């Protein structure tokens, strides 16, 4: 048995001995380096997938483009802070902080649910940022912080010091960036394919995945959030929550949801105002169109069939009124629709006996237009990307169509790829030489340079065009009746239609003119009688810039939008969608947008 040291010996030994070092900060030690790397990668992958999922859940309330204004920078800052602050904060935080991740993930839908009710107060610029500061960014910060903790636990002794210092950070950035881009590209293909692959469903999948990675008793704190998401969250598309949504919509706002789907272009639904008697189709925070229903009150006003809410869709029918030098019967013509909406324009073409082909990328839009807005079934439909369709058919089937109607609008702005010189040139290639006419619907703010860019691009392809707006320009409050100059307006967001021909020689007397529609062409539609004929007083003057001739040199011209140069148009759309968001809140009540 060893001899026990005396107190004097212990004291003697301690004299002059150095003080013991302070305890090292606690470090999470997984079973193996492989497990640490697995956990780090898993945290980063889930955080990356949550990035587009967060945007998906913001878009029905704020729109696609406003939701992204600060998203990229916010994501970058939150991820960097997670990595950079680990060294300073880790000694003061719980060792198993990653166990908080499932709790945060489960509470995100609940927090969004209540923050959405303040969307009108926050506005389209700050609303998405405030919402993500309270939801996605904390989840991202915790995920990158936890990933850094795991990677620091891996022994990199023997590795080049610089590589040991920079390697984990670089690998983490590449993993997150790759998965974020992959999720953004792949999710639209599968969104809406099941009840779980939806906006709210993806949030629950992410939260459940975090729970599998980080099981703990702390998950009990997420039970109230789970119950709210399954029973009370009306954004969840289950039968019970949809019934609850309709109950609240009817009681609080006098509206009714007829059907909703998660689809390729966004959150698509059909809603009906019980008080005003009109029906609309929405995609995210924009309206694809709407109709006034035939009610007893409207029958007294002379209405006998559903009428479009927006006159611009009947104005597109003015494509049939362009006077040509060598006209042919309507029944011998062919028409192509690029974009569908609720189907007002194609219904007019089909009703006139014109064989019509529709190119619509979103199957939900086509299904709803058929089921709820009376789109006839006797047409050819291509559920395809219009850019690819036009590029292929302008080569394989040139000169196939007498009429092409270009009517695309999603998420508060037009897809920029459908307003490039190359795309318009493909449309021109599909038009017949002697009878080809195109009608292009563009919604934008007349004050912004982006609108001028689009008009320049159209005129760089087509030799003869005229532009008409769907309503008169704003007038002063003094009642003078004189139009207000565009530069003096707070905004002038309008729908305009640009009518063009493939060849100027095809026009009667060499200039574009519109004949009056016949009674047979107008039918019983009040809106068609009022809006089909382009009114001279609604024409928007356009002066072709010097040197910008149709078919001329354009590749280096910054006044024209090309596939390689869409940045200016995209920037203009960011400004334009703010005006559009505010207008949408005057058409449909804010509460309806917030409740989806």
Co-location of 324 and 470 in the same domain: yes
Together in a domain, 271 and 158: no
- What pLDDT shows up at residue 511? 83
Same domain, 497 and 541: yes
Burial 496-524 (b: 16+ CB within 10 A, else e): bbbbbbbbeebbeeeebebeebeeebbee
Report CA 272 to chain centroid distance, whole Å.
22
**Cβ-based burial of 187 (10 A; exposed 0-12, middle 13-18, buried ≥19):** middle
Neighbouring-strand partners of residue 439: 405, 499
Has residue 547 been placed in a domain?
yes
For residue 117, what are the CA distances in angstroms to 497, 590, 595? 36, 9, 8
Helix (H, G, I), strand (E, B) or coil at 515: coil
Residues 343, 411 within the same domain:
yes
What's the pLDDT at 95?
A: 78
Task: Mention every residue, 6+ apart, whose C-beta is less than 8 A from residue 331.
Answer: 353, 354
Phi-psi region of 23 (alpha: psi -120 to 50; beta: other; left: phi over 0): beta
- Residue 455 and residue 550 in one domain: yes
Shared domain for 264 and 402, answered yes or no, is no
Distance (Å, whole) CA 396 – CA 429: 10
Contacts of 152 (CB under 8 A, 6+ apart): 27, 86, 168
Distance from C-alpha of 129 to C-alpha of 565, rounded to nearest angstrom: 28
What is the C-alpha separation between 220 and 204, in angstroms, rounded? Answer: 16
Kindly state whether residue 480 falls inside one of the protein's structural domains: no
User: Residue 208 belongs to what domain range?
Assistant: 33-237
**DSSP conformational letter for 472:** P
Question: Tens-digit pLDDT profile for the chain (596 aa)?
Answer: 445 555 555 445 545 555 555 444 444 555 588 899 999 999 999 999 999 999 999 999 999 989 999 999 999 999 999 988 887 888 888 878 999 999 999 999 999 999 999 999 999 999 999 999 999 999 999 999 999 999 888 876 666 676 667 778 889 999 999 999 999 999 998 998 888 899 999 999 999 999 999 999 999 999 999 999 999 999 999 999 999 999 999 999 999 999 999 999 999 999 999 999 999 999 999 999 999 999 999 999 999 999 999 999 999 999 999 999 888 998 899 999 999 999 999 999 999 999 999 999 999 999 999 999 999 999 999 999 999 999 999 999 999 999 999 999 754 566 889 999 999 999 999 999 989 999 999 988 777 888 899 999 999 999 999 999 998 887 655 555 555 555 555 567 788 999 999 988 888 877 899 999 999 999 999 999 999 999 999 999 988 887 777 766 566 678 899 988 888 888 877 777 888 899 899 999 999 999 98
284 and 356 part of one domain = no
Is residue 138 assigned to a domain? yes
Task: Give me 278's structure tokens.
Answer: 């009109």
Confirm whether 305 is domain-assigned.
Answer: no
CB-based contact 137:22 (threshold 8 Å)? no
Same domain, yes or no, for 258 and 288? yes
> What CA–CA distance (Å, rounded) separates 247 from 252?
8
Contact 590, 115 (CB under 8 A): no
Helix %, strand %, coil % of the chain (to 5):
55, 15, 35
What confidence score (pLDDT) does residue 140 get? 97
Residue-level pLDDT at 216: 94
233 domain-assigned = yes
Of 258, 276, 300, which closes a domain?
A: 300
Do residues 261 and 224 both lie within one domain?
no
Residue 593, both tokens: 């947008």
Q: Tell me whether residue 293 is in a domain.
A: yes
Among 85, 123, 1, 2, smallest CA distance to 577 is for 123
Query: Could you tell me if residue 100 is inside a domain?
Result: yes
Q: Decide if 431 contacts 393 (C-beta within 8 A).
A: no
The CATH number given to whatever domain includes residue 463 is: 3.40.50.150
pLDDT of residue 447: 79
Specify whether the CB–CB gap between 463 and 550 falls below 8 A. Answer: yes
The verdict on 287 and 359 lying in the same domain is no
Q: Which residue has the tokens 């024209």?
A: 560
Of 193, 216, 237, the one marking the end of a domain is 237
Q: Is residue 594 part of a domain?
A: no
Q: Does residue 399 sit in the same domain as residue 494? A: yes
CATH code, domain with 159? 1.20.1250
Q: Count of alpha carbons within 13 Å of 374, Cβ hemisphere only? A: 15
CA distance 235 to 228: 11
Angle at 128 between CA 125 and CA 131, to 5 degrees: 140
Three-class SS of residue 396? helix
Q: What tokens appear for 284 in the block?
A: 């995210």
Tell me: do 413 and 514 sit in the same domain.
yes
- Taking residue 176's Cβ as centre, other Cβ atoms within 10 Å add up to 23
- Total structural domains within the chain: 3
């Amino acid at each position: 048995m060893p001899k026990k040291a005396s107190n004097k010996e212990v004291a003697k030994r301690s004299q002059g001995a150095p003080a013991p070092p302070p305890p090292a900060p606690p470090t999470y030690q997984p079973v193996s380096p492989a497990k640490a790397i697995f956990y780090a990668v898993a945290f980063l992958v889930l955080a990356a997938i949550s990035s587009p999922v967060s945007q998906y859940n913001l878009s029905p309330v704020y729109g696609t483009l406003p939701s992204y204004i600060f998203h990229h920078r916010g994501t970058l800052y939150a991820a960097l802070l997670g990595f950079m602050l680990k060294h300073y904060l880790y000694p003061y935080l719980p060792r198993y902080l990653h166990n908080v991740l499932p709790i945060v993930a489960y509470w995100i839908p609940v927090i969004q649910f209540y923050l959405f009710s303040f969307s009108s107060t926050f506005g389209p610029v700050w609303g998405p940022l405030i919402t993500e500061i309270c939801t996605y960014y904390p989840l991202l910060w915790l995920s990158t912080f936890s990933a850094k903790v795991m990677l620091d636990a891996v022994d990199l002794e023997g590795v080049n010091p610089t590589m040991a210092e920079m390697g984990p950070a670089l690998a983490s950035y590449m993993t997150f960036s790759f998965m974020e881009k992959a999720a953004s590209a792949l999710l639209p293909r599968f969104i809406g394919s099941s009840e779980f692959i939806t906006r709210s469903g993806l949030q629950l999948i992410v939260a459940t995945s975090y729970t599998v990675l980080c099981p703990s008793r702390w998950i009990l704190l997420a039970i109230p959030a789970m119950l709210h998401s399954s029973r009370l969250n009306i954004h969840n598309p289950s039968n019970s929550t949809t019934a609850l949504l309709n109950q609240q919509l009817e009681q609080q706002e006098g509206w009714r949801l007829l059907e909703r789907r998660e689809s390729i272009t966004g959150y698509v639904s059909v809603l009906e105002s019980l008080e005003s008697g009109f029906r609309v189709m929405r995609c995210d925070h924009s309206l694809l169109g709407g109709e006034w229903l035939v009610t007893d009150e409207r029958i007294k006003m002379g209405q006998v069939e559903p009428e479009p809410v927006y006159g611009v869709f009947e104005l597109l029918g003015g494509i049939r009124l362009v006077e040509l030098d060598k006209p042919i019967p309507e029944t011998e013509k062919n028409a192509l629709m690029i974009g569908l909406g609720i189907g007002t324009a194609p219904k007019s073409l089909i009703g006139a006996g014109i064989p019509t082909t529709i190119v619509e990328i979103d199957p939900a839009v086509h299904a709803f237009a058929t089921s709820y807005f009376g789109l006839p079934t006797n047409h050819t439909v291509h559920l395809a990307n219009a850019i690819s369709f036009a590029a292929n058919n302008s080569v394989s089937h040139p000169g196939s169509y007498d009429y092409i109607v270009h009517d695309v609008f999603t998420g508060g702005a037009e897809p920029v790829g459908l307003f490039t010189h190359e795309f318009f040139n493909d449309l021109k290639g599909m038009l017949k030489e002697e009878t080809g006419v195109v009608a292009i619907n563009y919604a934008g703010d007349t004050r912004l340079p982006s609108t001028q860019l689009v008009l320049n691009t159209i005129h760089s392809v087509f030799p003869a065009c005229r532009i008409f707006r769907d309503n008169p320009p704003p007038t002063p409050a003094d009642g003078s009746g004189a139009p207000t100059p565009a530069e003096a307006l707070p905004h002038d967001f309008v729908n305009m239609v640009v009518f063009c021909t493939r060849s100027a020689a095809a026009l009667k007397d060499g200039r574009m003119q519109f004949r009056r529609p016949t009674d047979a062409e107008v039918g019983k539609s009040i809106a068609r009688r009022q809006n089909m004929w382009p009114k001279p007083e609604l024409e928007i003057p356009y002066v072709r810039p010097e040197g910008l001739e149709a078919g001329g040199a354009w590749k280096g011209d910054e006044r024209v939008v090309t596939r390689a140069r869409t940045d200016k148009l995209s920037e203009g759309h960011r400004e334009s969608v703010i005006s559009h968001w505010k207008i949408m809140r005057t058409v449909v009540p804010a509460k309806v947008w917030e409740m989806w």
